[in-house]
Amino acid sequence: MPRYAFRIEYDGRPFAGWQRQDGPDSVQQRLEEALRALEPDVPSIAAAGRTDAGVHATGQVAHADMAKDWTPFRLSEAVNWHLKPAPIAITACARVSDDWHARFSAQERRYTFRIIARRAPLALDAGQAWRVIGPLDVGRMREGAKYLIGQHDFTTFRASICQAKSPVKTLDEITLEEFPYPGGQDIRLHLRARSFLHNQVRSIAGTLERVGTGSWPPARVGQALAARDRAACGPVSPPDGLVLTGVGYPDDPF
| Catalytic residue set | 52
b/e 79-116 (16+ beta carbons within 10 angstroms → b): beeebeebbbbbebbbbbeeebbbeebbeebbbbbbbb
Question: Phi first, then psi: what are they for 177, rounded to 5°?
Answer: -120, 150
Radius of gyration of the chain (CA): 19
- DSSP letters for 238-252: PGGGEEEEEEE-SS-
- Burial class from Cβ neighbours inside 10 Å (0-12, 13-18, 19+) for residue 23 reads exposed
Cross-strand bridge partners of residue 170: 151
CA angle 164, 65, 60 (to 5 degrees): 45
Question: Phi first, then psi: what are they for 243, rounded to 5°?
Answer: -135, 125
